[in-house]
Copies of this chain bind each other. A is one copy, B any other.
Amino acid sequence: MCQLLAMNCNTPTDMRFSFSGFSQRAGNTGDHTDGWGIAFFEGKGLRHFVDYEQATTSPIAELIRHYAIKSKNVIAHIRKATQGRVLLQNCHPFVRELWGMNWVFAHNGNLQDFQPKLHAQFHPVGDTDSELAFCWLMQELAKSHAGLPSVHELSLSLQELAQRISPHGTFNFLLSNGQALWAHATTDLHYIERQHPFTTAHLSDQDLSLDFSTCTTAQDKVCIIATAPLTSNEQWTRLPPQSLHVFQEGQLLLRLPPPPNAGTANPAPLAAS
């Protein structure tokens, strides 16, 4: 399995503290050593870094731990390969363009017997179940909406689509288009909302504390989403199985509960021919 990390804020924020703790799980406090990646939105633009070296020793990860890249939406991933070889094209997050926007996706889990029909414009470059799921999600979003719909409409579509993949296995994922951040859980995904008054947080994976009150304003709002809580002295909320949470401007915007038939053992076919 892999580990996921995301940040959604109302003002461009530097994620070095969270990434520093998170990347320890790639060899020091965890065994997620089969590559890593991170994507930072800056407006519509994107900085996308991937590496098949482990995040504790990768020179690019070292740069990310020390260079303050400020962003309102970030998705990161450290990989422990289940499907797909240890190759650059199999490192998450994956990126595609749809409706003139970048879309970024990372997945934690393992999908079995998952062979959706890809009949449109999105095809995997690598050989992971994760990129395949992302391509299918993008294909179905493109089919369902002629152009970019509202975040609310997108969320309803995504929750419906996620429920068609979930019966194939563990499908914790993070998705962002720079406007909002979607987090779908089937097993482990936690989040925390930080806002004024900011306090001091202590990392679980590293002996490092940060007093957020020294680097924030009273207006700042930040949500962090991670497979397992990153700090030891804060209260993280676990996402219920099959729920989709939508974050925008540093706040939880929507919480879509699992639909009544979630987790059915006999999913509908993923695409008609």
Q: How far is the CB of A151 from chain B (nearest CB, A)?
A: 18
B121 touches A45 (CB 8 A): no
Q: How far is the CB of A89 from chain B (nearest CB, A)?
A: 4
With A45-B88, A60-B63 as known contacts, state yes or no: A99 contacts B126, CB within 8 Å.
no
Q: Which range contains the number of A residues in contact with the other chain?
A: 35 or more
Residue of B nearest to A124 (CB): B100
Please, which residues of chain B bring their CB within 8 A of the CB of A43?
87-89
A59 contacts chain B at the CB level, 8 A cutoff? yes
A101 contacts chain B at the CB level, 8 A cutoff? yes
**With the chains together, A122 CA to B52 CA distance in Å?**
28
Residue of B nearest to A101 (CB): B125
Residue of B nearest to A96 (CB): B97
Give the contacts of A72-113 with B (CB-CB under 8 A).
87-91, 95-102
A252 contacts chain B at the CB level, 8 A cutoff? no
Residue of B nearest to A89 (CB): B45
**With the chains together, A60 CA to B88 CA distance in Å?**
19
Q: How far is the CB of A32 from chain B (nearest CB, A)?
A: 18
With A60-B63, A67-B59, A88-B46 as known contacts, state yes or no: A97 contacts B120, CB within 8 Å.
no
A48 touches B45 (CB 8 A): no
Please, which residues of chain B bring their CB within 8 A of the CB of A97?
96, 122-123, 125
Q: How far is the CB of A101 from chain B (nearest CB, A)?
A: 6
Residues of A within 8 A of B (CB): 42-52, 59-60, 63, 67, 87-91, 95-102, 120-126, 142
Q: Which of A52, A88, A102, A124 has the most CB of B within 10 A?
A: A88
A59 touches B63 (CB 8 A): yes
A125 touches B45 (CB 8 A): yes
B126 touches A44 (CB 8 A): yes
Q: How far is the CB of A112 from chain B (nearest CB, A)?
A: 22
**With the chains together, A120 CA to B120 CA distance in Å?**
10
A45 touches B122 (CB 8 A): no
With A59-B63, A121-B121, A142-B121 as known contacts, state yes or no: A42 contacts B100, CB within 8 Å.
no
Shortest 4 CB-CB contacts between residues of A and residues of B: A45-B88, A45-B89, A121-B121, A100-B123
**With the chains together, A121 CA to B91 CA distance in Å?**
24
